[in-house]
Amino acid sequence: MPKKDIHPQWYPDAKVICNGEVVMTTGSTQPEIHVDVWSGNHPFFTGTQKILDTEGRVDRFMRKYGMASPDNEVEQETTQSKKNNSQNSSKKEL
């Protein structure tokens, strides 16, 4: 038998509240839980996650492992051809 009066009160239907609305219920030692982020609005779970590309690291990784999307490949080819044309024109000027 557990000892009396040492366990916190258990609320089997505790409300989880995000942005003023109840998003789910769960068991807890508190009757209400206020959260800023939950699985319904977190970018990872909603699919709206954005990858911050610092210094082209993500693009380099994608090219290195062959995971570049067709859109990225077209953009890269266009950028590469512009760089080549500018380099060729600068060499002609010399």
pLDDT in tens, 7-40: 899 999 999 999 889 999 999 999 999 998 888 8
Is 70 strand, coil or helix?
A: helix
For residue 43, give its domain range: 1-49
The partner residues of 16 in beta bridges, in order of sequence, read 24, 33
94 belongs to a structural domain:
no
Cα 90 off chain centre by = 42
| Least reliable range by pLDDT among 2-6, 71-75, 83-87 | 71-75
CATH number of the domain at 28, please. 4.10.80.400
Residue type, 42: H
Total of domains in the chain: 2
Encode pLDDT of 57-72 as tens digits. 878 888 888 876 666 5
Encode pLDDT of 35-54 as tens digits. 988 888 887 777 776 666 66
